[in-house]
Amino acid sequence: MNPTAPTISELIAQERRLTLPHFSYDDAYALGGLLVSMARERHAPVAIDIRRGAQQLFHAALPGSSADNDAWIDRKRKVVERYGESSYLVGTRFRAKGTTFDDSSRLDPDTYAAHGGSFPIAVEGAGVIGSVTVSGLPQADDHALVVEALERFATSIV
C-alpha cells in the first residue's frame, strides 16, 4: 500500500461517504476484526483502537507494534475528538496553509498529533460518535487502511 496523498476535498468526501447507519458494540468488534484480518494479510505491524465516546470498544496490537503505537493512537484520536474530522484531514488543512499542526494549532504536540490514521465514526442523525485509529505504518498508509476497512465494513451493515 503506497497511496498518493489525498486532497482536502477527497478527504472530506471520504468522511461524508463513510457515515454509517448505526454503530454498536458488535459493529466495533466486526470492524476491529476486519482491520486485524487486513493487517495480518499485509504483515502490517500495527495497533488498532476503536472508541465510542470515551469508551474503548476494541483494541489489538499485532506483531511488530509497540507501546509507542498506543501513544500515537491516543494523540491522533484526540485530534478526531477535538475537530470531528480525520487526523489526516486536520494535518492536511494545516499543510495546505503552508504551516504544520505542531507549529500553528496552539495545542500540545505531546497530547495531539494530526498524522494520518484516526478516522471519525459518524452515524446518520447523530454525527461523530467515536473513532477508529491505526498506528504503525506511514501516516498515509495508516489512513488508507482505516478507510479501506470502513468502506468494506459499510457495505456489510444494514
pLDDT tens profile 1-45: 444 789 999 999 999 999 999 999 999 999 999 999 999 999 999
pTM of the predicted structure, to 2 decimals: 0.95
Q: Determine the average pLDDT of the residues in 55-68.
A: 98
Q: Determine the average pLDDT of the residues in 53-75.
A: 98
Look up residue 44 and give its three cell numbers. Answer: 502490517
Instruction: Determine the pLDDT at residue 2.
Output: 40
Kindly report, residue by residue over 102-150, the tens digit of the pLDDT: 999 999 999 999 999 999 999 999 999 999 999 999 999 999 999 999 9
Instruction: Determine the pLDDT at residue 4.
Output: 74
B/e letters for 120-154, b = 16+ CB within 10 Å, e = fewer, are bbbbeeeebebbbbbbbbebbbbbbbbbebbeebe
Instruction: Determine the pLDDT at residue 122.
Output: 98
Is residue 157's pLDDT more than 90?
A: no
Cβ(3)–Cβ(80) under 8 Å? Answer: no
CA distances (Å), 16 to each of 70, 77, 124, 134, in order? 27, 19, 10, 20
Instruction: Determine the pLDDT at residue 99.
Output: 96
Instruction: Determine the pLDDT at residue 96.
Output: 95
Cβ(74)–Cβ(81) under 8 Å? Answer: no
Q: How far does the chain reach from its first CA to its final CA, in angstroms?
A: 29
